[in-house]
Amino acid sequence: MSNLKVRDITQLALIAALYVAVTIAPVISAFSYGQIQFRVSEILMLLPFFNHKYSWSLIIGCFISNIFSASLGAYDLILGTLATAIACYLITRLPKENKFLWLVPIICAVVNGLIVGAELHFVLKLPFALNFVTVGLGELVVVAIGAVIFYFLMKNQNFKKLIA
pLDDT of residue 71: 78
Q: Which residues contact 72 (CB under 8 A, 6 or more apart)?
A: 33, 66, 80, 119, 120, 123, 124
pLDDT tens digits along 52-91: 999 999 999 999 999 988 778 899 999 999 999 999 999 9
- Note the pLDDT tens digit of each residue in 30-54: 788 878 888 999 999 999 999 999 9
Residues 6+ apart with CB under 8 A from 162: none
Delimit the domains of the chain by residue range: 6-29+37-163
Position 2 pLDDT exceeds 70 = no
**String of b and e for 41-70 (b: at least 16 CB within 10 Å)?**
bbbbbbbbbbeebbbbbbbbbbbbbbeebe
pTM here is 0.93
Provide the residue type at 38 as one letter. Answer: F
CATH architecture assigned to 6-29+37-163: Orthogonal Bundle (1.10)
Contact 114, 17 (CB under 8 A): no
Q: How far apart are CA 150 and CA 102, in angstroms?
A: 10
